[in-house]
Structure 1
Amino acid sequence: MKYWWSLLITCSGFLPLAAQQRYELNSGWTAAPASAVTISGETLSLPGKPGLPGEAAMPAVVPGTVLTTLLDNKKVPDPFYGMNNKQIPDIYFTGPAAYTYWFVKDFKEKAEPGGEVWLQFRGINYSAEIFLNGKRLDPSPIKGMFLRKIYNISQLLAKDGKNRLAVLVHPPDHVGNPNGGQGGDGRIARDLTHQYVAGWDWIQPIPDRNTGIWDKVLIEKTRGVRLHDPHIVTIVPGKRYPGNPQAPATVRIHATLQNPTSRVINGTLKFEADGKTLTKSVTIPPNSDREYSLGEMTIAQPRLWWPNGYGSPELYTGITSFITSSGVTDNDTLKFGIRQVDNQWNAHTRSMQAYVNGQPVFIKGGNWIISDAMLRFSRERYDAEVRFHRDMNLNLIRIWGGALTERPEFYEACDKYGMLVFQDFWFSGDCNGRWIDPMKTDDQWMRRSYPDNHKLVLEAMGDQIRMIRNHPSLAFWCGGNEITPPADILSALKDSLLPALDGTRQLFDYSNSDSMSLNTLGGNGDGPYGIQENGYFWQHRTFPYNSEIGSVGVGDYASLKKFIPAENLVPPVEGRGKDNQVDSVWHYHKYIGYNDQVSRYGPVKDVRDFAMKAQLVNYDQYRALAEGFTARMWDWYTGVMIWKTQNPWTALRGQMYDYYLDVNACLYGLRSGSRPLHIMFNPSDSTVWIANNGFSTVRDLMLRVSVVDIATGKDSLYSMVFNEIGASSAKYYFGMDGFLQKLNKTEGCLVKLQLSDAGQHLLDENIYWLPGRNGKYDALSRLPPSKLTVKVDRLAEHQPGGNATSEETLNVTLTNPENAPVAFFNRVALVRKSTGQRILPTFFDDNYITVMPGTSKTIRVTYPAGSVKGEQLAIEIYGWNLEHRIVPVP
């Protein structure tokens, strides 16, 4: 973002610009269907003249889509609730005219002597005709969802400053038949747009295919020369350690200067960061748009950017500016991180291995679709979702190729929280012809040439690379999801675009390509994608760098009530294969079954009971997945990415938190299994392991392993030993199968693992619940009522920095008295006391907590302060053997 007011002009004669020189046109828009407008765009865009016809016009959502505008004006029901989406006419059946809309905006702006005014559209889907003050800005419609468009409008602005912008937005040319296939009949991929909008196995079709001005509209003012798309490259040689004194690092800077005038302009290109300055005198030809290099800057003691779990993601502020004798014409302020990402082939695993600042990083990632399927993006939502991924102890987010290039605000959150990003381009094996598919209209060879306009694709690729390349979080490019782009596009991307515009990041041809992962050692490829026995993840190999493996993800009862009508809140009848029976709304929201794993906890009484028992399975499933992969670090695997960690609508599968940003047990099982220093239990052979993701050996560790009788809560100590774990490794320590057999806990038991340092400080704790001989959890169903007590303390409000608003924090202490039953699997939520409505998002440093007799555990609860001012809050808590309870917050 540009902060004109922050640049200090120190040379005599330099004139600073006015304060606000870049702003959004994000309110005051109106919209109407094109069929209701009988005048031309030239006439419609005339200031002071009648605008859209009153009977058809409505307030518009910009950034947004036609569907979000219709929803905001209550013209359609919420498509994410129940089966409402079926009530909204789909564009394939209505024809494109039904979703072809005019968007009109009046705004005030004047051109100043010696200044230039620019209009930028950061994203329109799919094609548009743009008019300003009676003039058309392009001779023909612009096309392409992933393409920024900018216009110099200085000469078109009204002298009195009263302007009108009118934009006619057309849907994609090929909207596709939403026939139930992946991407429907596939023809949506003929255009440069996202593919999921025609439906997928995790989402229903989006009726308008997200037609609209879906991203920001900006006004930018410069004093002549425009500076844009600066490029910062950081070089960090050698092997570095977080927190240590650092050898120097190098920062290279380029910037593009656009001279819209008919005269030569001389000036100084300048970069400032870390108290240092680089300058270069440049001569810019008339009517040109060229990139210039400033050379290199050496940072003597760099604060390095590290991925989550390995160190702090330190960020610098860099200011690039262009200065003439008349003053600053333009500048750009951005955050950047000093880090270097490299990749080497691991001959043992036969897969690529990532290194950051010279250190090996075991990839623990999540697959990301999009923040909201109807493109209702916000900086705050991005921040919350990426923060959840940080809280899962993941270090990477993969942007799936059937969606889009994420927005800069997403990458800013990833920079802040230390999340590496694996960015797919806009292709998928389903729509782009990897497989024979009877649901597709065109054959494989035809689909392999999608999209139709390859020149447009390459233009958009170049534009999007420029848009996001400065973010330290961006680590990898990928040609597409499970398939490459067409050969000419891939060749240009590899040989021309990336070398010229980036040149620092690994490009994988596609998301499970041989250049990423060779499946030659008995692995099973990507996946699986459904419920597994917990031991599966320890016993069965997949791709050594697995880009997709996933499972279930039903939220708890409070989540289900938000989008499933009361009459459809019917728990699934679990079984195997055809024995699964599920309500129609659950089916519509893409529910996948748990086989018989929920019923192992006892007969399901109702939906609330089903949801609670499903959380036990969720926690166990994702903890086992994370631990099974981590245990084979550098042996079987160099990385794994969960399919998926989030949903952009109200789906019933593959999510660690729901669409409303309410967490479930998947998140905390994954958080536990992915801890940087972690003690874990292999359920397939009852062995105990430790994983150390850090870069140094950890010594003098105390391992305490005990078996807990569920009925009495008493420990049977199995082992207590001192040991060490090497850097970036996982190690087997001992087996306890014989001990478990000797105890003969026929109805199940708990296994408690604890890891402490030499000072007896607890570093990690892991509690497993094991079934009885019949595979069921009978001992749990006999647990007496919990005697847990709850104490809530309010901490001081604080400002976390970055993009988030001020936050408040509570400590919730759960205490289980001596000789009381085990307080098993307790869920904590923050609610409004008067209504019981949850405060979302809320962040917990742990949840779904088990508290042993005679012990306490404290959960840190953090929430945005501004959303609850003046309201009485309470902690909601319930558990396996704890009745629902509300505890007021003091």
Structure 2
Amino acid sequence: MIQNLKMMLRVLLAMVLLAVSQHTWAQEKISLNSDNKVAWQIKPLSEVGIDGQKISTPGASFRNYIAGVVPGTVFTAYVNAGHVSNPDYSDNIYQVDESLFNRPFWYRAEFKLPASYHQGQRVWLHFDNTNRYADFYCNGVKLSGTAHSTKDVSGHMLRTKYDITGIVNQEGINAVAVLITDADQKKTRTAKEGFGVTASPTYLAAAGWDWMPYVPGRLAGITGNAYLEITGDVVMEDPWVRSQLESDEYAYLFLSSAIRNTAMTEKEVTVSGTVNPGNITFSKKIRVPAQSVSTIRFNKADFEQLIVHHPKLWWPNGYGDPNLYTCTLTCSADNVVSDTREITFGIRKYEYQFVKNKKGWPVMNFLVNGRKIYLKGGNWGMSEYLLRCHGKEYETKIKLHKDMNYNIIRTWTGCVTDDEFYEYCDKYGIMVWEDFWLYVAYNDVASDGDFIANAVDKVRRLRNHPSIALWCGANETHPKPALDDRLRAIVAQEDHNDRMYKSSSNQDGLSGSGWWGNQPPRHHFETSGSNLAWNKPAYPYGTDHGYGMRSEIGMATFPNFESVKQFIPANQWWPLPSDEALKNADSTVWNRHFFGKEASNANPVKYKASVDTQFGVSQSLEAFCEKAQYLNIEVMKGMYEAWNDKMWNDAAGLIIWMSQSAYPSFVWQTYDYYYDATGAYWGAKKACEPVHIQWNAANNAVKVINSTLSEIKDLTATATIYNIHGKALPGYASVANVNIAAGNIKEAFTLNLDNARIGSNSLDRLSPLHFIKLELKDRKGNVLADNFYWRNGLKELDYTALNDLPSANMSLEIKERRAAADSGRLTVMITNHSKTIAFGNRIRLVDRKTKARILPVIMSDNYFTLMPGERKQVTIEATAGQLANGADVLLKQYGYKEQKKLSVSFK
């Protein structure tokens, strides 16, 4: 009996040890990306003499392969390997033989399981995105489709995963192979067929648009993350946290997840969760049959703790903090943790109202958490034209959008497929208008099934993001009825109709697209015209109606000279192409970067003429680029301010085409490809301020814009008018006390700028070219907002007198210098010591050692003007790595040579 007792104790001890061992099994995610010590090989299918089973055998290898880039594209791999000249520069990408890339390619890599792997765990092989078709193999076994099928996975946002537990080598080498087949359409640049039918769903800009070139291979590749996951037999799939905001005091949480049981026996599964902040805990059991999938749900009826009291709400930028919650889910079977997931979500409520304008046409208004949100933002076509944007670089782009006071980004035709984009939009309060993959004349696709499969996966993948504000079926058209109905049903079923599905990007409550050529501010204040003027019936446009909710409007946008030098060869800098060449020439390097025929919507002829006539004919590219920045400021600011002027009185928001630069070009951007902020950036940032004061170039009215959720009282609005000599003219000044309700506009006064009062350029008279400075102060005299304009009262838009301003004596003084582990901050005071105007002051930072530009930076202001004796404080932020060598601070006054003013160390 004692012997039996000892045996029982040994068995019990073994069971306890096994249980402890099992409980310590941690779910792991192991990256197979090429930047994580996994070496991918790429080779064309036509040059490989063996099949996928053999290619995916451990120890096999390609001869003369190209090192693969994952995530990335085939073409990018060849660029990185030096087989293609820098495609950013000159017309290099147009010289590439596209037939070398417009064909199938093999990817191959080898990996080992982590040392922590234990017998009995499941091994999953994941690929987040593959474009355009993919077939998968591992350790000599075909994972996808059937033994002889091809193009098994079809799309570009369809996640794939395979349970490779039964074929994986637990201690030795494993091999994976993926055959990527390119899209069927546009096999050559000059092919006449479109790219929207057979190719979709894909990156629709890959075959070229008026802002990025045709990319050989059309972005075929393993374009998303590749990784392994180690779990138990039971896993959660697409867990979903949905919030319902009942009031500001109560929110309800609903959670659900598919539970997959891969075991050969039924499992009793426990799913437990914790939500923070709040330490909300819950747990529930479900029985899942063998080799099947069940769904588990949690709601307030069963778990009262899912009623959140006084929730911390997620707000768009400018309206409040984008508060986020984290839900940690644990899935256990047989008292062993089998899978864990962490979900970031936000508690918010989207609503949409259609308010009739003066002509009785509906204008779509956005509401978040019960409050009207005035939309200010930009369109993204691509994150980067070769899909080279990843990780923290998305934070850079989104921070720049936040800095411009934007609150929404539209992903044109759904060309963004990286999770990091949405994660940073969540973090910084940027709403996302999410398109599907249809555009203009192409409202049909070759395979409805492929399109729908990608759409379902897209919604499931993105629905936890509070930043998703709208699902949109097609760009400037409507999906064919069958697709439209399916997309609407997908959003209803998979996203609970919490966010609108809208068929078209520019109609049905929206006011159209365009126009896209540069127009002076007065034009935008006087007319809202756009492309729906040709609709039947025509959309009604006018001075006080038709602005509505505009999803596209844009302009050509010259970058700074320092950027142009990086992609235009020096022997092509000057002169600029003739008007005839801009209209008709195909092969100029300027046209290849979209200042010419390919970007005719931007009207480069008019843009060039505007710079020349308004600011004077230039003698060099550097001078032209400088003058262009002030056109950029004026036009971009004028567009947003014209919409501001009608806020909630017809106008509901403006999304420019485009805010993000995917390729070195001269169109559709705020910051450029190298993150240098153009004048358009500063025009947008100023006009989109939550509290703003502005001048109407058409009727001289000065209005205060309050797009915040708070009433503002006891404000003082002032306007000071300066002549060309920098003298303030009291007879033209205006002042008013203003109280302004939340989310409202208020006219303060109208400037008296009667042309008859304009005299010569004498010291005491209002000169033809003069300046308007607006300020809005609180009761303590603190400046809440300011604005600055240049105006010619006799010859409209003639600013050539700026070229005759004398050089000003300027100083820069360090007010604060702060270095942190990850960033640095510099505050400088700029003073104009002269008796003349210091117009157009631009600050730049360069590396103190290498003299290379320090970009990107977040700067409080730039391209600013200082009147005689005036001072301005400017803050500049950059990463610690950028500032490691210290920085030189350069200052350039309009029309004069740039000067180094400070040399700063951050150590």
Contact 1:830 1:875 in 2 (8 A): yes
Choose which of 682, 686, 697 in structure 2 pairs with 1:668. Answer: 682
2:723 aligned residue = 709
In the alignment, structure 1 residue 537 sits paired with structure 2 residue 544: no
C-alpha deviation, 1:527, in angstroms: 0.8
- Listed as ranges, the matches of 1:159-308 within 5 Å are 159-179=170-190, 185-186=194-195, 189-238=198-247, 246-273=248-275, 274-296=278-300, 297-308=306-317
Choose which of 86, 96, 113 in structure 2 pairs with 1:88. Answer: 96
1:243 aligned residue = none
2:576 aligned residue = 572
Choose which of 351, 373, 378 in structure 2 pairs with 1:361. Answer: 373
C-alpha deviation, 1:503, in angstroms: 2.3
Contact 1:825 1:880 in 2 (8 A): yes
Contact 1:786 1:882 in 2 (8 A): no
- Listed as ranges, the matches of 1:349-388 within 5 Å are 350-388=362-400
Q: Percent identity?
A: 29
1:874 aligned residue = 888
- Cα–Cα, structure 1 residues 794 and 723, in superposed 2: closer, same or farther, change >3 Å? closer
**1:253-296 CA distance string (max 9 Å, x none):** 11121111121111221221121112111111211223321113
Amino acid in the other structure paired with 1:811? T
In the alignment, structure 1 residue 128 sits paired with structure 2 residue 149: no
In the alignment, structure 1 residue 489 sits paired with structure 2 residue 483: yes
Contact 1:109 1:157 in 2 (8 A): no
- Cα–Cα, structure 1 residues 850 and 723, in superposed 2: closer, same or farther, change >3 Å? same
2:813 aligned residue = 791
Choose which of 811, 814, 825 in structure 1 pairs with 2:827. Answer: 811
C-alpha deviation, 1:170, in angstroms: 1.3
**1:150-208 CA distance string (max 9 Å, x none):** 00111110142321111121111234543387xx6336644432221111122220011
Amino acid in the other structure paired with 2:372? P
C-alpha deviation, 1:510, in angstroms: 1.2
Q: Normalising to structure 1: TM-score of the pair?
A: 0.90
Contact 2:108 2:175 in 1 (8 A): no
Contact 1:526 1:546 in 2 (8 A): yes
State the SS of the aligned residue for 1:883. coil
Aligned counterparts of 1:833 and 1:563: Cα–Cα separation in 2: 24
Q: Report the more deviating stretch, 775-784 or 144-153.
A: 775-784
1:526 aligned residue = 513
Q: Report the more deviating stretch, 552-561 or 109-118.
A: 109-118
Amino acid in the other structure paired with 1:378? H
Aligned counterparts of 2:889 and 2:324: Cα–Cα separation in 1: 36
In the alignment, structure 1 residue 51 sits paired with structure 2 residue 61: yes
- Cα–Cα, structure 1 residues 837 and 502, in superposed 2: closer, same or farther, change >3 Å? farther
Aligned counterparts of 1:494 and 1:579: Cα–Cα separation in 2: 42
**1:784-824 CA distance string (max 9 Å, x none):** 1021111235533347xxxxxx211111221112x532221
State the SS of the aligned residue for 1:479. strand
Choose which of 646, 650, 669 in structure 2 pairs with 1:636. Answer: 650
C-alpha deviation, 1:248, in angstroms: 2.1
In the alignment, structure 1 residue 76 sits paired with structure 2 residue 70: no
Contact 1:176 1:198 in 2 (8 A): no
State the SS of the aligned residue for 1:830. strand
Aligned counterparts of 2:161 and 2:588: Cα–Cα separation in 1: 47
**1:454-500 CA distance string (max 9 Å, x none):** 11111111111111110111010000111222322211221345324
Choose which of 69, 72, 77 in structure 2 pairs with 1:64. Answer: 72
Contact 1:176 1:187 in 2 (8 A): no
- Cα–Cα, structure 1 residues 501 and 113, in superposed 2: closer, same or farther, change >3 Å? farther
Aligned counterparts of 2:340 and 2:105: Cα–Cα separation in 1: 37
C-alpha RMSD of the superposition? 2.3
Amino acid in the other structure paired with 1:645? S
C-alpha deviation, 1:623, in angstroms: 0.7
C-alpha deviation, 1:114, in angstroms: 2.9
Amino acid in the other structure paired with 2:549? Y
State the SS of the aligned residue for 1:213. coil
Name the count of aligned residue pairs: 831
Aligned counterparts of 1:765 and 1:191: Cα–Cα separation in 2: 47
**1:581-624 CA distance string (max 9 Å, x none):** 99921111111421522122122110000000000000011111
C-alpha deviation, 1:721, in angstroms: 2.0
Choose which of 104, 108, 112 in structure 2 pairs with 1:103. Answer: 108
Contact 1:263 1:286 in 2 (8 A): yes
1:21 aligned residue = 28
Aligned counterparts of 2:830 and 2:159: Cα–Cα separation in 1: 52
C-alpha deviation, 1:108, in angstroms: 3.5
C-alpha deviation, 1:879, in angstroms: 2.3
Q: Report the more deviating stretch, 545-554 or 24-33.
A: 24-33
2:318 aligned residue = 309
2:454 aligned residue = 460
C-alpha deviation, 1:695, in angstroms: 2.2
**1:373-410 CA distance string (max 9 Å, x none):** 11112122111111111111111000001x52432110
1:678 aligned residue = 692
Aligned counterparts of 1:597 and 1:580: Cα–Cα separation in 2: 20
Contact 2:718 2:734 in 1 (8 A): yes
Choose which of 622, 627, 635 in structure 2 pairs with 1:613. Answer: 627
Aligned counterparts of 2:572 and 2:44: Cα–Cα separation in 1: 35
Listed as ranges, the gaps of 5+ residues in structure 1 are: 1-11, 239-245, 433-447, 520-524, 800-805
State the SS of the aligned residue for 2:552. strand
Choose which of 423, 432, 442 in structure 2 pairs with 1:412. Answer: 423
Amino acid in the other structure paired with 2:142? R
1:774 aligned residue = 795
Contact 2:198 2:447 in 1 (8 A): no
- Cα–Cα, structure 1 residues 613 and 772, in superposed 2: closer, same or farther, change >3 Å? farther
2:877 aligned residue = 862
Contact 1:571 1:582 in 2 (8 A): no
Choose which of 497, 507, 511 in structure 1 pairs with 2:501. Answer: 507
Amino acid in the other structure paired with 2:174? N
Aligned counterparts of 2:106 and 2:864: Cα–Cα separation in 1: 51
State the SS of the aligned residue for 1:322. strand
Aligned counterparts of 1:378 and 1:572: Cα–Cα separation in 2: 35
C-alpha deviation, 1:883, in angstroms: 2.6
Q: Normalising to structure 2: TM-score of the pair?
A: 0.88
C-alpha deviation, 1:13, in angstroms: 6.5
- Cα–Cα, structure 1 residues 657 and 725, in superposed 2: closer, same or farther, change >3 Å? same
2:588 aligned residue = 584
Aligned counterparts of 2:256 and 2:892: Cα–Cα separation in 1: 56
C-alpha deviation, 1:637, in angstroms: 1.4
Q: Report the more deviating stretch, 604-613 or 841-850.
A: 841-850
State the SS of the aligned residue for 1:834. coil
Aligned counterparts of 2:587 and 2:574: Cα–Cα separation in 1: 7
Aligned counterparts of 1:180 and 1:798: Cα–Cα separation in 2: 53
Contact 1:424 1:477 in 2 (8 A): yes
- Cα–Cα, structure 1 residues 295 and 314, in superposed 2: closer, same or farther, change >3 Å? same
- Cα–Cα, structure 1 residues 223 and 186, in superposed 2: closer, same or farther, change >3 Å? closer
- Cα–Cα, structure 1 residues 73 and 324, in superposed 2: closer, same or farther, change >3 Å? same
State the SS of the aligned residue for 2:881. helix
Aligned counterparts of 1:278 and 1:14: Cα–Cα separation in 2: 25
C-alpha deviation, 1:423, in angstroms: 0.3
